[in-house]
Amino acid sequence: MFVSLYQLLQNTKMIDYALLSQCPVFRGITAGDAEKLLKQIHFQLKKFLKDEIVVVAGAPVTNLNIVLSGSVRGEMIDYSGKTIKIEDVEAPKPLAAAFLFGQDNKFPVTVTANEKCSILVIPVGEFLKLLQMNSQILRNYLNSISSRAQFLSQKLHFLSFKTIRGKVAHYLLQQAGDRFHSVELKNTQQQLADLFGVTRPSLARVFGDMQKEGLISISNKTVKLVNREKLSELINHA
């Protein structure tokens, strides 16, 4: 059900367009242009309190949802009934943007507000209008879902290794390539832990052990590959 013209105008005034322009989908769009674009479509601005459920896993994805303030968390329940947090999504990032289209376009996780937050809700049909009106938004959206697919593909690849040492060795050798003997870590240790599917303390312990064994040398965020042969052996035995 669409909002009235009055509500639309009120919602338009409540949006921080400077922040919206930093969203991956609206990157490269000025705050002024973002406001003009949104005035041409129907949308809603929804607000949630801390720990309030935004959407339940399995619900159809019928809107592009963008967190405009605060943050939310994506969680799923395993077979034992334990709740597992998948990730936190902070403003101004979209939720499940890659699930807008396709045959099984349902939310893979339950989304809950970490704190008081507001979410911009754009129906799929209205978002299609945006994609047709602005080629930059179209490119941004395609880049966003492509990057997400690449991230998930990379994560599945890491999960195929049985040991953390094997995952770390593969990552370092892959980043260094054949020409370089050191790697500049652009991700935080927590981001790497999430990528490898392990805890941060476990990852830190493995990095420390590998440095003690003379396989690598760490200085700030630069990791020098001291013994590439041994690192390759770790992959083969992972």
Boundary (domain end) residue, out of 126, 153, 180: 153
Contact 94, 65 (CB under 8 A): yes
Q: Which helix (H) or strand (E) holds 111?
A: strand 110-113
CATH of the domain at 94: 2.60.120.10
Compute CA distances 201 → 57, 74, 111, whole Å. Answer: 29, 22, 26
**Which sign, positive or negative, has the C-alpha torsion 101, 103, 104, 106?**
positive
Nearest to 195 by CA among 170, 221, 220: 170
Please tell me whether residues 94 and 195 are part of one structural domain.
no
Please tell me whether residues 144 and 176 are part of one structural domain.
no
Please tell me whether residues 23 and 72 are part of one structural domain.
yes
CA angle 215, 218, 221 (to 5 degrees): 135
Q: Which helix (H) or strand (E) holds 196?
A: helix 189-196
Please tell me whether residues 174 and 73 are part of one structural domain.
no
Residue 196, domain extent: 161-236
Nearest to 3 by CA among 96, 122, 84, 108: 122
Please tell me whether residues 39 and 125 are part of one structural domain.
yes
Please tell me whether residues 52 and 87 are part of one structural domain.
yes
Contact 28, 66 (CB under 8 A): no
Boundary (domain end) residue, out of 133, 153, 173: 153
Please tell me whether residues 176 and 204 are part of one structural domain.
yes
pLDDT at residue 186 in the model:
84
pLDDT tens, N- to C-terminus, the chain (238 residues): 444 443 444 455 578 999 999 999 999 999 999 999 999 999 999 999 999 999 999 999 999 999 999 999 998 876 667 777 778 899 999 999 989 998 889 998 999 999 999 999 999 999 999 999 999 999 999 998 888 777 777 767 666 777 889 889 988 998 888 778 899 988 888 888 877 778 899 999 999 999 999 999 999 889 999 999 999 888 876 5
Please tell me whether residues 55 and 107 are part of one structural domain.
yes
Contact 41, 12 (CB under 8 A): no
Please tell me whether residues 10 and 87 are part of one structural domain.
yes
Q: Is 178 exposed, middle or buried (0-12, 13-18, 19+ CB in 10 A)?
A: exposed
CATH of the domain at 216: 1.10.10.10
Boundary (domain end) residue, out of 111, 128, 153: 153
- Structure confidence by residue, pLDDT tens digits, 159-188: 677 788 988 998 899 888 877 889 998 888
Please tell me whether residues 34 and 98 are part of one structural domain.
yes
**Is residue 214 classed as helix, strand or coil in its secondary structure?**
coil
Contact 210, 142 (CB under 8 A): no
Record the pTM: 0.66
Please tell me whether residues 68 and 11 are part of one structural domain.
yes
Please tell me whether residues 121 and 192 are part of one structural domain.
no
Domain total for the chain?
Answer: 2
Compute CA distances 58 → 45, 46, 99, 168, whole Å. Answer: 22, 20, 11, 34
